[in-house]
Structure 1
Amino acid sequence: MAPRLLRTNSCEVNMSRPQPSPSFLQLARAFWRIGLLSFGGPAGQIALMHRELVEDRGWVSEDDYLHALNFCHFLPGPEAQQLATWIGWRLHGWRGGLAAGLLFVIPGAVIILALSMLYAVAANLDWFEALFLGVKAAVLAIVLQALVRIAGRALNTRFKQVLAIAAFAALFLFDLPFPVVILGAGILGLAIARVRPHWLAVSATPSRIATGPRPWRATLQSIVIWALIWAAPMGLVLATLGPEHVLWDIGTFFSQLAVVTFGGAYAVLAYMAQEAVQGFGWLKPGEMADGLGLAETTPGPLIMVTQFVGYLAAYRAPEPFTPLVAGLLGAGLTTWVTFAPCFLWIFAFAPWIDRLGNAVRIKGGLAVITAAVVGVIANLAVWFAIHVIFAAVGEARFGPVRLYVPDWATLDWRAALLTALACALVFVAKWSVVRVLAINAVGGLILSAL
């Protein structure tokens, strides 16, 4: 009997049972291809994997894919990379998970490293600054687009809308730390889901596997092994360079960030920029937007922008290394502590995926975090807008309230014009991210020449 096909958006989706598991080499080749083509942020990457692995190859069933995707939304870190790791684990155990997760990241990591090296040596050149004037404006429009999309999907109850506004106020007006806002939202969600689950629009779904031994041993082994892998380079830095070196600061900061990266790169970018610029002095104002622009043009997770920050931080404080060597070490350490936790989460908790159907309180915690992320991204959009359009931005304090005060004399009309152009291309013409970045980059060169 021929397999049943469902036609959706002019493509045929194979609804029969998954095909026999691929060989390890076939798996590696597929994820190498996905890693090279995974542009467009998490939505595009998830759609690409669905087409390649569910529709075309039939290695994973539709139900399993969607169930795993929901599971990955519970975890901090890039959900697309974690979904890739889970698929590899499902098909070839820990070896497949490691291969799929690494191949999903490596192409983008190599490209963003090369672009970071170029940026470090060319950032002070006039033509380069003009180029990135347009890139910053495009990034602002892209962040606004992400805000609209996530808000439309996540704020489906009045309670969630209030939470998003509260998260924005906590960050923008009261200057609360990002981890406090996210963790506080998660705790609130766990409590609300118990007494008022309808406020969060969450409900239980039948568990896929209700019986069988709980995989405690496998989970504990994975936690111990991957915690040691995660900490290994930090131990080496501590033993050889000490806790005062910039590499130690890089490792500890991005390790902490890896635990609270709910909502992806957009959610943590403002906090990362604040700490990198004001806390550590690694970057100049506006350079975080440059980094995100570079990450938008490369395949792989957008959180790879952390590698850009790590490279520049070490490059600018290289002792006892040369700037290039220090930058490479900073980028490598940042990538390690950013993605090692992703493997920890998947290998530790993937055996439990089929038991999470009835986890209403966990779903509630995630729902509130997602609502808070909308407020976080709104904070990022406003922060970007002020720092892209104005060259000088001060702060004013009124008790616990902090306000940004731009210097209107430093208004950059070129940046304002390019931002309007990027918003028109994104929201009206609906151009792709890469096309908008390219047009704005050229626009920056032209306006700066004029």
Structure 2
Amino acid sequence: MTVIDGADRQDGAQPTLSELTAVFARIGCLSFGGPAGQIGMMHRSLVEEKRWISEERFLHALNYCMLLPGPEAQQLATYIGWLVGGIRGGIIAGMLFILPGLFVMIGLSAAYAVFEDTAWLDGLFFGLKAAVLVIVVEAVIRLGRKTLQTGFLRVIAALAFFALFFFGLPFPLVVLGAGLAGLAAAKMGDTPDLPLARTADLPKKRTPLRAIGSLLLWIAIWQAPLFLLWALSAPESLAAMFSFFSRMALVTFGGAYAVLAYVAQVAVEDYAWLHPGEMVDGLALAESTPGPLVLVLSFVGFLVGFREASGLGVIAGGALGAVLVAWATFVPSFIFIFAGAPFIERLRGNAVMSAALSAITAAVVGVILNLALWFGLHVLFTEVAKFSVVPSLGLIVSVPVFSSIDPAAVALFIVSAVLLFRFRLGLVPVLCFCAIAGLALRLSGLV
């Protein structure tokens, strides 16, 4: 098994593929809470507990993933899997980050399509969100302490948070701006000393011909289902759906919410795949499942297959539609990592580019802080209002309706914090405890 960063590793042993599979299977099953929670969970598991990669390597990978379209947490899992296990490790890590949530989404979509009721999900996942919020807070604290070592980097983090929380700027734009600021600072010599990778630790240079060949191969794998649909004379709606979501996968900058409104409009008004309001129900399902929030798109695929490919059987047709959308949506993430990560890794040996990436790292702390605050507001309060501070500048603040505070969620959040910070209990016991507590509270009618 090829390991790319031998000297940059921490003191943990090199994982075997079976160990990598077990760890990422657990992460995939417990990856609730959106990208902030998922990144925090990977940081805790892979850097703090397993010590498979260093803090610097983790952040370097995260910087690159934040610039890409698509689910950054799944791309980060793929990148880290590639670092410690080569191509096979990347495929295993990336797939296991998706598959548990996809299986759950298919099951929930089937229940929705047949029974048209999702209210029972509220009790099942109520407690998990409070526990995940603690994981997010812990990730912000850990990354902030280890990353924001200079005044320049602290300013970058603050500006990134301000741009996201008050102006709602897209993640990639904020991260790219931070990189340019770091590059300018490096040119002026106003950067801290940074640890650079030794030449022996860097991946070998790839010839342009080999890089292009690899890219074309992955693109062919990505679009293979489309040719199969045409060859098998499948319902035209399935091919149209696959083509549409393939295009969406290349422009989903800024996370799932940035593209969901557009997808909902097109799916309802242009293609009539969904009825009005069904996208909201799908979003509720996605927020209650592990994995990337963009899995909500597989809910759309399920309904299309359920209604248009019923010749296979309504459930089988729905499952086919969900898998097709997941393939169109997530395979590009593997392409971005396997094609781009070798070049990104070589930047670790360049002082100027490393300085620019350190600024991006600081911005990422601001990004995760924004995600944590947004997630916290929606976990601890049942109502969050938008307040316009300076309308002419588009300055808008999310403000909780304090009368809507959820005492049960607050209590579970505090208990989770005590268990994690004070008693150092593991993630799985804390998540299981909160899930059971949340379900019990819901069944008893207390929430």
TM-score normalised by L of structure 1: 0.69
The answer to whether residue 260 in structure 2 is matched with residue 276 in structure 1 is yes
The equivalent position to 1:310 in structure 2, one of 292, 297, 300, is 297
Q: Which moved more, 1:402-411 or 1:360-369?
A: 402-411
Match of 1:58 in 2: none
Larger deviation, residues 168-177 vs 279-288: 279-288
In the alignment, which residue of structure 1 is the partner of 2:23? Answer: 37
1:226 paired to 2:214: no
Match of 2:78 in 1: 81
Q: 1:338 aligns with which of 303, 310, 330?
A: 330
CA deviations over 1:421-445 (Å, ceiling 9, x no partner): 2222222222222222111112212
Q: Which residue of 2 aligns with 1:365?
A: 356
Counterpart CA distance in 1 for 2:217 and 2:243 is 21
Give the total of aligned pairs. 383
SS in 1 for 2:200: coil
Whichever residue aligns with residue 214 of structure 2, its letter is S
**1:403 maps onto 2:392 in alignment:** no
Q: Which runs of 5+ in 1 are unaligned?
A: 1-10, 19-26, 52-61, 90-96, 261-267, 296-303
Distance 1:394 1:329, change over 3 A: same
Q: Which amino acid aligns with 2:378?
A: H
Q: Secondary structure at the match of 2:199?
A: coil
Residues in 2 aligned to 1:48 and 1:407: alpha-carbon distance in whole angstroms: 38
CA distance in 1 between counterparts of 2:187 and 2:242 reads 43
Query: How many Å separate the matches in 2 of 1:154 and 1:335?
Result: 35
What residue is the counterpart of 2:173 in the other structure?
180
RMSD: 4.2
Q: CA deviation at 1:406?
A: 3.2
Please list the CA deviations of residues 280-329 of structure 1 after superposition, one character each: whole Å capped at 9, or x if unmatched: 474469848844xx43xxxxxxxx42563232343356553467534553
Cα distance change, pair 289–162 in 1 and its aligned pair in 2 (3 A):
farther
Secondary structure class of the residue paired with 1:129: helix
The SS at the match of 2:250 is helix
State the Cα distance separating 1:178 from its structure 2 match: 1.9
Partner SS state of residue 191, structure 2: helix
Moved more, 360-369 or 113-122: 113-122
Paired position in structure 1 for 2:136 = 143
Q: How does 1:257-268 map to 2 (within 5 A)?
A: 257=252
Give the corresponding residue for 1:412.
406
Listed as ranges, the gaps of 5+ residues in structure 2 are 1-9, 28-40, 66-71, 265-276
SS of the counterpart of 1:171? helix
Residues 190, 339 of structure 1: alpha-carbon distance in 2 compared, 3 angstrom cutoff: farther
3-state SS, counterpart of residue 134 of structure 2 = helix
Q: Distance in 2 between matches of 1:166 and 1:320?
A: 48
CA contact (8 A) 2:383 2:404 kept: yes
1:426 aligned onto 2:420: yes
How has the CA–CA distance of structure 1 residues 142 and 205 changed in structure 2, closer, same or farther, with 3 Å as cutoff?
closer
What SS class does the counterpart of residue 162 from structure 1 fall into?
helix
Native 8 Å contact 2:382 2:405 kept in 1:
yes
Cα–Cα, structure 1 residues 445 and 37, in superposed 2: closer, same or farther, change >3 Å?
A: same
The 2-side partners of 1:371 and 1:408 are apart by: 31
Q: Which residue of 1 aligns with 2:99?
A: 110
Partners of 1:139 and 1:232 lie apart in 2 by 37
Taking the aligned partners of 1:209 and 1:117, their CA distance within structure 2 comes to 42
**SS state of the match for residue 379, structure 1?**
helix
Cα distance between partner residues in 2 of 1:48 and 1:343: 29
In structure 1, what is the equivalent of residue 5 of structure 2? none
Q: 2:128 and 2:20 mapped to 1: Cα distance?
A: 26
**Helix, strand or coil for the counterpart of 1:403?**
strand
The 8 Å contact of residues 153 and 362 in structure 2, kept in 1 or not, is answered as yes
- Render the CA deviation track for 1:169-191: whole Å, top value 9, x for unaligned: 11111111222112222232233
- SS at structure 2 position matched to 1:430: coil
Instruction: Please state if 1:446 is matched with 2:433.
Output: no
Q: Does residue 437 in structure 1 map to residue 425 in structure 2?
A: no
User: Does the CA-based 8 Å contact 1:207-1:358 persist in structure 2?
Assistant: yes
Residue 385 of structure 1: how far off its partner (Å): 1.7
- SS state at 2:64 partner: coil
Matched position secondary structure for 1:173: helix
Greater Cα shift, 114-123 or 425-434: 114-123
Alignment partners' CA distance in 2, 1:84 and 1:406: 39
**Partners of 2:59 and 2:398 in 1: how far apart?**
37
- CA separation in 2, counterparts of 1:66 and 1:385? 25
Deviation at 1:197, TM superposition (A): 4.8
CA contact (8 A) 1:136 1:290 kept: no
**Residues 383, 252 of structure 1: alpha-carbon distance in 2 compared, 3 angstrom cutoff:** farther
Deviation at 1:419, TM superposition (A): 2.0
1:436/1:156 Cα in 2 relative to 1: closer, same or farther (>3 Å)?
A: same
Look up the SS of the partner of 1:75 in the other structure.
helix
Change over 3 Å in CA distance of 1:205–1:129 after alignment to 2: closer
Residue identity matched to 1:115:
V
1:396–1:403 CA contact under 8 A, matched in 2? yes
TM-score (norm: length of structure 2)? 0.70
Q: Give CA-to-partner distance per residue, 1:141-176, whole Å, 9 cap, x none.
A: 221111112112221111111111111111111111
Verify the 8 A CA contact 2:161 2:367 in the aligned structure 1: yes
Contact 2:385 2:401 (C-alpha < 8 Å) held by counterparts: yes
Q: Distance in 2 between matches of 1:194 and 1:237?
A: 52
In structure 1, what residue type is equivalent to 2:81?
Answer: A
